[in-house]
């Protein structure tokens, strides 16, 4: 199955994060949390793209100001990096270090807008309703999860592998493209899109709402369920994959 590349800079960030994560778990030092929680602030500005790796929860809030607070065991905080590459920011453990936290690691990020998010490792994200955007890109791998209260975009692009879980409660997109593999799940009946394109493999589960056109390419035991009564439904399936109206 042809795999689409969504956002070169985001992909580079996710790749770097994944490499760092693999190195950390395979050859690095494992640090146990002290059990003493501490919160620190880190300066951020011009945030448009974010990549988070390792473990922890990212909470994104949209408002008039920008900022980042990190809550974790006090002895783990010195090993958490916040790096900038233009408008893209990477957050997570330093190279060759893995965590055994006793205090849940929480990143609270305030942004004015967000156009792209990458998650890898065992991270999760909770995103408040995002402001209108021309394009929003989501890329996930590993045992990650993301929950969106709302999305408003002309174009929504989602790529997920491993055991990723994605839920979008409400929103709109003129066009959404969903590319899933492994045992990933994408639940977005609450997101209305005119045109939806789905590529799924493995044991993926996809739930979408399309009002004009649905185009599906599925293999393995992928299940695609859709709402919206689109007048055009195109499907190319193999294995025991299925495409059905919900």
Tens digits of per-residue pLDDT, 144-191?
999 999 999 999 999 999 999 999 999 999 999 999 999 999 999 999
- State the sign of the Cα–Cα–Cα–Cα dihedral 93, 94, 100, 101: negative
Tell me how far apart the alpha carbons of residues 159 and 137 are, in angstroms, rounded to a whole number: 8
- Model confidence at 141: pLDDT above 50: yes
The reply to whether 114 falls in a domain is no
Tell me: do 89 and 185 sit in the same domain. Answer: no
Instruction: Tell whether 162 and 93 lie within a shared domain.
Output: no
Residue 112 lies in a domain: no
In the chain, the number of structural domains is: 2
**Is 96 found in the same domain as 166?**
no
For residues 158 and 97, membership in a common domain is answered with no
Q: Are residues 48 and 153 in the same domain?
A: no
Q: In this structure, how many other beta carbons lie within 10 angstroms of the beta carbon of residue 197?
A: 20
Tell whether 21 and 83 lie within a shared domain.
yes
User: What is the domain extent for residue 134?
Assistant: 129-246
In terms of pLDDT, which residue wins out, 205 or 95? Answer: 205
Tens digits of residue pLDDT in 42-52: 999 999 999 99
CA atoms within 13 A of residue 82's CA, in its CB half-sphere? 18
**Residues, the chain, total?**
246
Report if residue 204 sits inside a domain.
Answer: yes
pTM for this prediction: 0.89
- What percent of the chain is modeled with pLDDT above 70? 89
């Amino acid at each position: 199955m042809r795999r689409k590349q969504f956002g070169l800079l985001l992909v580079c960030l996710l790749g770097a994060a994944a490499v760092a994560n693999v190195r950390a778990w395979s050859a690095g030092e494992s640090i146990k949390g002290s059990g003493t929680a501490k919160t620190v602030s880190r300066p951020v500005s011009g945030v448009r793209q974010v990549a988070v790796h390792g473990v922890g929860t990212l909470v994104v809030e949209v408002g008039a100001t920008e900022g980042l607070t990190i809550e974790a065991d006090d002895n783990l905080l010195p090993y958490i990096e916040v790096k900038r590459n233009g408008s893209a920011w990477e957050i997570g453990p330093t190279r060759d270090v893995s965590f055994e936290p006793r205090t849940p690691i929480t990143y609270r990020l305030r942004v004015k807008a967000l156009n792209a998010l990458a998650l890898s490792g065992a991270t999760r994200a909770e995103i408040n309703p995002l402001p209108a955007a021309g394009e929003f890109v989501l890329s996930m791998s590993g045992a990650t999860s993301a929950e969106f209260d709302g999305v408003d975009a002309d174009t929504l692009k989602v790529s997920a592998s491993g055991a990723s879980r994605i839920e979008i409660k409400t929103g709109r997109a003129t066009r959404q493209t969903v590319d899933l593999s492994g045992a990933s799940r994408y639940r977005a009946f609450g997101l209305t899109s005119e045109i939806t394109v789905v590529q799924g493999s493995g044991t993926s589960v996809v739930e979408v709402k399309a009002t004009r056109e649905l185009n599906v390419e599925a293999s393995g035991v992928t299940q695609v369920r859709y709402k919206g009564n689109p007048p055009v439904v195109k499907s190319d399936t193999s294995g025991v994959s299925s495409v059905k109206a919900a």
